[in-house]
Amino acid sequence: MNTLVKICGTTNLVDALASLESGADALGFIFVEESKRRVDPEFAKEIIAELPEGAQVFGVFVNEPASYVAEVAREIGLTGVQLHGEESPQQVSSIRQATEDLQLKIIKALPASMVQQHTLGYFAGGEELVDAIMVDSGSEQKRGGTGKPFDWMRAAASIAELQRKNKVIIAGGLTPANVSAAVALLRPWGVDAVTGLESDPGKKDHAKLRAFISAVRAVNVGAPSRAIV
């Protein structure tokens, strides 16, 4: 199957459309206060309203109450959420219950350091509650957008083990120059990129977008596109 490509840190309609036209399967909108790529949910709603029907759009949240996540998702038309904090299985379950009518897809981001230790730490037992797990190079100090890849070779065995039960998305420092190697080595369900596709924080470089997605597709030529289902 084709590797799912999620382009995160979307801040404007031009970049959103360019990502989809370049072949991206999903977009991410960051609603985290400290992020340089944060967008206001109301502005994200305006962007989403202009996207082609059926576009997969994810909101990125960090340690937010289930009620808030559900409110934003319902109001602006999200198809999924990405939880990038220390959300516990109990919190994920609450979000599931609060958004049951929306049938949202849920991605839970975990630091690569945790996965490499063959432990899911605070999220142990939550694997069955999410649609995919994102393995990212972020830390508690900088949860995402680090621009640095994690040690793929060191993490390869752990990711392969994790993928026996979960769809895995890899993130962190992916660029047009290195993503094909990451996909070939780790064979993830999906990839997620932000920093490596920008000209400035929050502004996509459209040539890099096209090159990145072409590099991913070149690894699995002829395979159909993916959706998080």
Any catalytic annotation for residue 151?
Answer: no
Interior/surface letters 188-221, b for 16+ CB within 10 angstroms, e for the rest: bbbbbbbbbbbeeebebbbebbbbbbebbbebbe
Nearest to 25 by CA among 3, 43, 9: 3
Collapsing DSSP to helix, strand or coil, 203 comes out as strand
Residue 121: CB atoms within 10 A of its CB come to: 12
Active-site residue (options: 15, 25, 136, 192): 136
Distance set, CA 96 to CA 20, 65, 103, 157 (Å): 27, 12, 8, 30
205 is catalytic: no
Q: Which of 8, 15, 25, 192 is catalytic?
A: 8
Q: CB neighbours of 114 closer than 8 A, spacing ≥ 6?
A: 120, 121
**Are 32 and 60 spatial neighbours (Cβ–Cβ below 8 Å)?**
yes
- In whole angstroms, give the CA distance from residue 6 to residue 22: 12
Which residues are known catalytic residues? 8, 136
